[in-house]
Amino acid sequence: MKDPALTRGQVTGILVVAILAGSALVTLVFQTSQQTNACSTCDLGDLDAGYGPVDMVYDNSSGRIFVLDSGAGGFNAWGVTIINGSSDTVAGFIHSGGRPGYSLDALAFDPRNGDLYTPHFCYDGVFVLNVTTGANVTYIDTPTTGICAGPQTIVYDPVSDYILALAPPNLIVIDPTTNTVVRTVDLGIGAYPVGVNPATGQVYVMTSVQGEFLFNLTVLNGSTLNVESSIQLNGTPDAIVFDSLDDRVDVAVTVLGFGGGAVYNGSLIVLNPAASHVFDSTRVGENPSDVAIDLSNREVYIANFYSGNISIVNGTSYQPAGSVPVDPDPESISYDAQNGCLYVLFYTQLGSNPETDGYVTVLAPPGGSCRAVPTGNAPAWAGSAVLGGLAIVVAAALVWHGRRREI
């Protein structure tokens, strides 16, 4: 699964010097300084994410990563895999209750009550799971406009403390203290990815204008949910992230083009919601699937599904700052502000096997300081132990060879 262009950090170097003293070969092993984060980009290994993962959310209060997948039991055992971001180990799996998961697509986390919310658009409702007890808390029925027309995307609103779900054309407001629907807002045709500005409480929804290739960013007042403004996007929205330092909104979009076949050009569009206009834009990879932001280093990371790489955009100048090759078809990306690591989710087909096995790759961003040592990787001391042991074996073999020559 690893790309040979990526190199590992956190490995201690070994310098082996062989000195011939008389008839004996003396091997001196020197330990060089640790090269933590010396690589331009560090691939720190993979973590199992169960079968068919489709979404991933990060809890910045605990450093945990939650992956919506079907665990090891196939698609009849749908639930959430929990990854510990401090040790990068799989900490557990929460079962959703045995319901099939072929129409589960999104995940949201409420840090106040420790509940996860995942909509099921063919069951016309939302599953609620608790990360502390591992319990399947309840199932919330939501309004629907037809068969398999339930909620498809979902987000936690940290300002209102509500859960917001999109079941086009409706925005559904859920009170997590009672797990009931308290309001439904008709947004018109084609509602798409939803997000909440943590500074202003404004709700951002992508709505189609005409056909399926022209969209607006519709900005709703966080209290009244009335439309405040609308910004036209030249492309299909794929993901949204908020830059709280500049009070801007970064939207990854795909612009469909043609020329010897379909071309899925990707762009990062930077919006100024206060002025209701596009502030800047820059090209990224093909068919961007998700976007994450590191506010401390002012970097924006875009996972490009068709390009098989991560685009890096400077969050101040909004100029391209390079790209990182990864495995094919990255599905989702999260940035862990606690350990400086990037987590990239992959949905992988195992040959002719009808099941799919997903995984999360842990990356240290270029110039970053990803401090976690994932499970399955040798810790820093392991490199010196292995190389040192190899040097002793080689030295012993050479000495034995020399003695045989004397006999």
Q: pTM here?
A: 0.76
Q: Note whether 363 and 310 are within 8 A (CB).
A: yes
For residue 23, being part of any structural domain is answered with: yes
For residue 136, being part of any structural domain is answered with: no
| Cα→Cα distances 352→96, 102, 127, 333, 356, Å | 27, 19, 31, 27, 10
The average pLDDT across 165-189 equals 90
Q: Note whether 40 and 8 are within 8 A (CB).
A: no
For residue 321, being part of any structural domain is answered with: no
State the average pLDDT for the chain: 74
The average pLDDT across 60-64 equals 84
Query: What pLDDT is stored for residue 259 in this prediction?
Result: 59
Range of the domain at 2: 1-39+379-407
Q: Strand 108-110's sheet: what is its strand order?
A: 108-110, 115-120, 125-130, 136-141
pLDDT band at 110 (very low <50, low <70, confident <90, very high): very high
Q: At residue 71, does pLDDT exceed 80? A: no
Query: What pLDDT is stored for residue 95 in this prediction?
Result: 82
CB neighbour class for 158 (10 Å; exposed up to 12, middle 13-18, buried from 19): middle
388's enclosing H/E stretch is helix 380-406
Task: Express each pLDDT in 398-407 by its tens digit.
Answer: 333 443 333 3
Residue in 371, 346, 365, 367 with CA at minimum distance from that of residue 357: 346
For residue 134, being part of any structural domain is answered with: no
The average pLDDT across 314-322 equals 91
The average pLDDT across 361-377 equals 69
Residue whose token pair is 């409480």 = 201
For residue 154, being part of any structural domain is answered with: no
For residue 394, being part of any structural domain is answered with: yes
pLDDT band at 177 (very low <50, low <70, confident <90, very high): very high
Give the number of domains in the chain: 1
Q: Note whether 122 and 104 are within 8 A (CB).
A: no
Residue in 189, 193, 192, 155 with CA at minimum distance from that of residue 174: 155
Residue 290 DSSP one-character state = E
Residue in 181, 238, 230 with CA at minimum distance from that of residue 213: 238
For residue 265, being part of any structural domain is answered with: no
For residue 26, being part of any structural domain is answered with: yes
Query: What pLDDT is stored for residue 258 in this prediction?
Result: 60
Which of 170-184, 206-220, 281-295 shows the lowest per-residue confidence on average (mean pLDDT)? 206-220
Q: At residue 394, does pLDDT exceed 50? A: no
Residue in 163, 190, 71 with CA at minimum distance from that of residue 109: 163
